[in-house]
Amino acid sequence: MAAGLRKRGRPGPAIRAAGLCGQWLRRAWQERRLLLLEPRYTLLVAACLCLAEVGITFWVIHRVAYTEIDWKAYMAEVEGVINGTYDYTQLQGDTGPLVYPAGFVYIFMGLYYATGRGTDICMAQHIFAVLYLATLLLVFLIYHQTCKVPPFVFFFMCCASYRVHSIFVLRLFNDPVAMALLFLSINLLLAQRWGWGCCCFSLAVSVKMNVLLFAPGLLFLLLTQFGLRGAIPKLGICAVLQVVLGLPFLLENPVGYVSRSFDFGRQFLFRWTVNWRFLPEALFLHRAFHLALLTAHLTLLLLFALCRWHRTGESILSLLKDPSKRKVPPQPLTPNHCFYPLHLQLHWHLLQPLPSLPVLRLVFPHTALPLVGHACTLAHTPAQVAGAGTH
């Protein structure tokens, strides 16, 4: 053999990855008619939609007028903290007092400095555009793991939704920040990163209290996987993080901080409601109506816990035991066991950034209860789940 000839080595990881990607793309082109119907193409369709969203979001920012609602109030509230006011009862903006927990203050304090004390609206819009794309990616990763939703649904979830772009880049609300952290938490829970998942969940709560609606589902998951003794440290992570974040304000006025940032008795104005607009204002503001909604909420939680979530044949109190001592040991948390594709429009304060998304089955009641105010359809059988996209 000639001396100049060398033995051909194995291709490197990058070359192999490129080859696999090329094969996947060629197969996708050959099956292009199924591209929008087969869940196995979720990542490919999601990548194309994310690229499209870059252009769409940029166009929205520069072509559609920004609407001022809460941004100036957010900046005024965090400016009070920057100026040395740590008493929550003394912090307020144009729309009223500060009613969000400490995580909101820290995140929007960063935005305050990044946007020239809140004056550079265009910069803020671009920051929220990046947050929007990151949120889309997190949700697409959840969809990819469910393998139940036809990819064509994703177009209506993002590109075709004016409301989604409005909430993120035309209103600059704090809801997208909280929901991005929640979606990150769900991805971490699916990856069995329970500690980090609980940490991100607590961070989401620290931005906006609405995320607490998911807390019963998380508690049920923790009890299922770890029992009472194992769940306590994970719940401790959530509690300790809240205390650490709120410590400067708790030291100044603990009652003021807790009563303002976690005000469960706050009265919402009728003019801001969307879900209950069909009701007379007197009925909407009546205390009996509020108690009826709360009762329905708790009743449905109890029914789901007893009849749907826990179907092992043991008493629901068995969740308090160590998993190794149960008759039926817990199964690993997987998307096929814990997710349903829900095509619904949820309460705008809670899940407005994405009108259609997969939600933990254990969380489902908290997003579809009368307290939230939207009806939805849940697929219970495999056939219904497979046909959810058609509906």
Amino acid sitting at position 289:
F
For residue 356, the cross-strand partners are: 343
pLDDT given at position 7: 47
pLDDT given at position 329: 66
Six-digit token pair at 287?
């205390």
pLDDT given at position 28: 63
pLDDT under 50 in the chain at which residues? 1-7, 336-391
Six-digit token pair at 144?
């990819």
pLDDT digits (tens, 9 = 90+) for 29-75: 666 667 777 777 778 788 888 898 999 999 999 999 999 989 999 99
* Closest of 271, 266, 276 to residue 374, by C-alpha: 276
H-run or E-run covering 339: strand 339-343
Quote the pTM value: 0.76
* Closest of 304, 379, 330 to residue 148, by C-alpha: 379
DSSP annotation string for 40-105:
GGHHHHHHHHHHHHHHHHHHHHHHS----SSHHHHHHHHHHHHTT---GGG-EETTEE--S-HHHH
pLDDT digits (tens, 9 = 90+) for 195-220: 999 999 999 999 999 899 888 889 88
Residue showing tokens 């939703």: 149
Q: How far is CA 214 from the centre of its chain?
A: 9
pLDDT given at position 2: 47
Cα–Cα distance measured from residue 20 to residue 28, given in angstroms and rounded to the nearest whole number: 12
Six-digit token pair at 324?
């190794």
H-run or E-run covering 93: strand 92-93
- Contacts of 14 by beta carbon, 8 Å cutoff, 6+ apart: none
Question: Do the beta carbons of residue 377 and residue 391 sit within 8 Å?
Answer: yes
pLDDT given at position 362: 37
Q: Sign of torsion, CA 177 179 181 183?
A: negative
